[in-house]
Amino acid sequence: MLKPSSHIEESFVLELKARSEAAFGKLYDNYSGALYGILFRMIGKEEIAQDALQESFVKIWKNIDSYDRSKGTLFTWMLNISRNHAIDVLRSKNMRQKIQNIDKIVGVVNKQMSTSMNTDFLLVKELVEKLKPEHKQMIELAFFGGFTQEELAQELNMPLGTIKTRARAALTELRKYFDK
Amino acid sequence: MDVKEYIASGILESYSIGAVSPQEKQEVECMSHIYPEIRIELDKIMLSIEQLAEVQKIIPSPEVKNKLFNELKNQPSTAKIVSIKQKNNYASFNRLLAAACVVLAISMVTFYFYQASIEVDLNKQLEFSKDQNLQNKQVIESYRQQNIAMIDELTMFRDPNFKTVFLKGTNNKPESSLAIVCCNGVSKQTVIAIKDLPEPDSDKEYQLWAIVDGKPISLGMIPVDSISKGFFPVKNVENPQAFAITLEKKGGVAKPTMEEMYVMGEI
């Protein structure tokens, strides 16, 4: 696993802010896979997801000046941009998925992406399989689903607070495995 | 505020994936700034989201990178300057067409006035922009100052030598009373923030005490205008075991009045 973005040097962020193509290339090489994994799971169609990845990186390039290290890691900042972009894409193309039967982490990828799957995939599959069903659903919907939490609360007929605490419980559960 | 409850609500996770309202966003940023526990938890959450994203990664086709970098080359790095094109078509008029001459004369006059009015507009705009620029500079400067103060505070909270003590309301005083003391035995700094204390009568003042070897030592008076504001520095003592605040007559007293102790907290 590459080093987490919390350890990225200030000087690298400054290079990005100066729009250095070399720095941006490095950024792309390091994080495009992780972001594309999420975009693909949210969108479900390879071509649209790749466009969304490209557009997300254009937004990252344009808005890099507004990135503030004291508020969070570079990765979560890029993730927010990409997620919001994917939600917009899903909305505009009217291709929201039904909540039933989405098995994003394990299902979609198995069918369509068998060639470009990375070796870590088996690990995440194993991890997610170990989770309780409600935690699994929460990881899939809240983190990889193209839903805002308000929409989830409405669709699943649960109070927003429950969605939030469940998403936390699910992530805490996963953290146990990462920390091992 | 209960830090544990706040963390357990799941709002930090929602913040990390960007699923919060602008108000909640500001709240999390403020809370993580004040409470080191929240900051630490938030960092851990962001790391685990990154780890989760990393293990589920899918490598996109190399074409995407090529397309992306081609597109970036076309991105303007600064806003394009739009030039005002002036129309020059009066050059080709024919002397023999007198009627056309009249029309042309009229249009030239119109054009002259048009240009003049543009110039006035542009001058106005320039003045306005200058004003705006000055205002923006002032805003930036005030943000810069705020930022320096925040970074100072953040550096302080991130320093593991800083101990945070919550001073909570004592038995017979309002339960909501709360003050936070942070002290650093290595850099010999002590700061306090008064979160909530009842407004004192005009002849009274709050006095801060540190308990060292079981004895109270006065750390001075707390200005009324610092209540519900941020942190401010107070006198530092070596090896304090506890802190307390009592309500005393103006100017303070040598020994604390125990019945008037509002908040206290042990290290």
**DSSP states of chain B:** --HHHHHHTTHHHHHHTT-S-HHHHHHHHHHHHH-HHHHHHHHHHHHHHHHHHHHT-BPPPHHHHHHHHHHHHTS-SSPPPPPPPPP-GGGG--TT-HHHHHHHHHHHHHHHHHHHHHHHHHHHHHHHHHHHHHHHHHHHHHHHHHHHHHHHHHHHHH-TTEEEEEEEE-TTS-TT-EEEEEEETTTTEEEEEEEE-PPPPTTEEEEEEEEETTEEEEEEEEPGGGBTS--EEE---SS--EEEEEEEETT--SS--GGGEEEEEE-
Find the range with the poorest average confidence among A51-60, B57-66, B102-111. Answer: B102-111
Position B241 pLDDT exceeds 50: yes
Using the Cβ of B27 and the Cβ atoms of chain A, whether some distance falls under 8 Å is answered with: no
B40 in contact with chain A, both atoms CB, cutoff 8 A: no
Q: How far is B46 from chain A (nearest CA, A)?
A: 7
- The pLDDT-based confidence of A180 (bands split at 50, 70, 90) is low
Q: 């306090």: which residue's tokens?
A: B192
Rounded Cα distance, B250 and B203, in Å = 6
Yes or no, beta carbons of B46 and A40 under 8 Å apart:
no
Residue B128 one-letter amino acid: F
The pLDDT of residue A154: 82
pLDDT band at B217 (very low <50, low <70, confident <90, very high): very high
According to the model, what pLDDT value does residue B91 have?
A: 44
Q: What is the pLDDT of residue A48?
A: 92
Q: What is the mean pLDDT of residues B238-259?
A: 90
> What percent of chain B is predicted at pLDDT more than 90?
16
Comparison of pLDDT for B158 and B30, the residue scoring more: B30
Write the single-letter amino acid at A61: W
B217 or B155, greater pLDDT = B217
Distance, in Å, from the CA atom of B7 to the CA atom of A173, rounded to the nearest integer, reads 15
* Least confident interval from A57-71, B87-101, B159-173: B87-101
CB of B11 less than 8 A from some CB of A: yes
- For residue A138, pLDDT over 80 is answered with no
- Chain A residue numbers with beta carbons less than 8 Å from the beta carbon of B13 are 142, 164, 167-168, 171
Strand, helix or coil for residue A68: coil
Report, as an integer, the average pLDDT of A18-47. Answer: 90
Of A36, A143, A165, which has the smallest distance from its Cβ to B52's Cβ? A143
Residue owning tokens 């909570």:
B168
- By Cβ distance, the residue of A58, A105, A164 closest to B56 is A105
Q: What is the pLDDT of residue A97?
A: 55
User: What residue of B is the nearest CA neighbor of A30?
Assistant: B54
Residue A49 vs residue A140, higher pLDDT: A49
* Greatest C-alpha distance within chain A: 47
Contact A54 B12 (CB under 8 A): no
* Average pLDDT over every residue of A93-115: 50
From the list B16, B56, B75, which residue is nearest A61 (CB)? Answer: B75
Which of A62, A79, A85 to probe the B interface (max B CBs under 10 A)? A79
Which residue in the set A28, A76, A168 is minimally distant from B10, CB to CB? A168
Contact A32 B58 (CB under 8 A): no
Check pLDDT > 80 for residue A115. Answer: no
Nearest-Cα residue of chain B relative to residue A27:
B65
Q: Give CA separation, A113 vs A57, A117, A118, B61, in Å.
A: 22, 6, 10, 11
Any CB–CB contact under 8 A between B163 and chain A?
no
Asked whether residue B138 carries a pLDDT value surpassing 70, the answer given is: yes
pLDDT at residue B83 tops 70: no
Residue A54 has pLDDT above 90, yes or no: yes
User: With an 8 Å Cβ cutoff, are A79 and B49 in contact?
Assistant: yes
Q: Distance between CA A12 and CA A26 in Å, rounded? A: 10
* Complete DSSP assignment for B175-214: TT-EEEEEEETTTTEEEEEEEE-PPPPTTEEEEEEEEETT
| Residue of chain A whose alpha carbon sits nearest to that of B16 | A76
The Cα A141–Cα A82 span in angstroms is 16
- Could you identify the residue written with the tokens 């009217």? A94
Q: Taking all residues of chain A, what is their mean pLDDT, rounded to a whole number?
A: 78
Provide mean pLDDT across the span B167-183.
85
Q: pLDDT of A142-168, one tens digit each?
A: 766 667 777 778 878 888 888 888 888
pLDDT at position B120: 75
Coil, helix or strand for A89? helix
Q: Which residues from chain A sit within 8 angstroms of residue B57, using beta carbons?
A: 33-34, 36-37, 118, 120
* Average pLDDT over every residue of B113-131: 78
Interface test with A, best of B14, B17, B58 (most A CBs within 10 A): B58
Residue A131: pLDDT over 60: yes
| pLDDT at res. A124 | 62
| Type and span of the H or E element at B263 | strand B261-266
What is d(CA B238, CA B57) in angstroms, rounded to the nearest whole number? 52
The C-alpha atoms of residue B196 and residue B4 are separated, in whole angstroms, by 19
Residue B251 in tokens: 């100017």
**Residue A27: predicted pLDDT:** 94
Chain B, nearest residue to A40 by Cα: B58
- The 10s digit of each residue's pLDDT in B8-43 is 888 898 888 877 888 888 888 888 888 889 999 999
pLDDT of residue A111 exceeding 70, the answer is no
Compare B234 and B86 and report the one with higher pLDDT.
B234
What's the mean per-residue pLDDT of chain B?
81
User: What are B247's strand-pairing partners?
Assistant: B206
